[in-house]
Amino acid sequence: MVNYKMVLAYDGTRYNGWQKQGNTKDTIQGKLEGVLGKLEGKEVEVVGAGRTDAGVHALGQVANVKLEVKISEGELMQYVNQYLPEDIAVISVEKVPLRFHSRLNAVEKTYLYRIYQSEIPDPFKRKYTTTITEELDIEKMRQAASFLVGEFDFKSFCSLKKYKKSTVRTIYSIRIEEVEREIRISIRGDGFLYHMVRIIVGTLIEVGTGGKSVEEMKQILDKKDRQAAGSTASAQGLFLKEVRYEM
Query: Residue 74's beta-bridge partner residues?
Result: none
Q: What does residue 205 show for φ and ψ, rounded to 5 degrees?
A: -65, -40
Buried (b) or exposed (e) across 19-36, using 16+ Cβ within 10 A? Answer: ebeeeeeebbbbbbbbbb
CA quadruple 221, 222, 223, 227: dihedral, nearest 10 = -10
Residue 53 is classified by DSSP as: P
Sign of CA dihedral 124, 211, 168, 195: negative
Cβ–Cβ < 8 Å for 194, 160: yes
Contact between 155 and 163 under an 8 Å Cβ cutoff? The reply is: yes
Of 26, 53, 87, 222, catalytic = 53
Contact call for residues 204 and 144 (beta carbons, < 8 A): yes
8 A C-beta contact, residue 129 and residue 116: yes
Whether 53 is catalytic is yes
For strands 238-245 and 106-117, give the pairing. antiparallel
Active site residues: 53
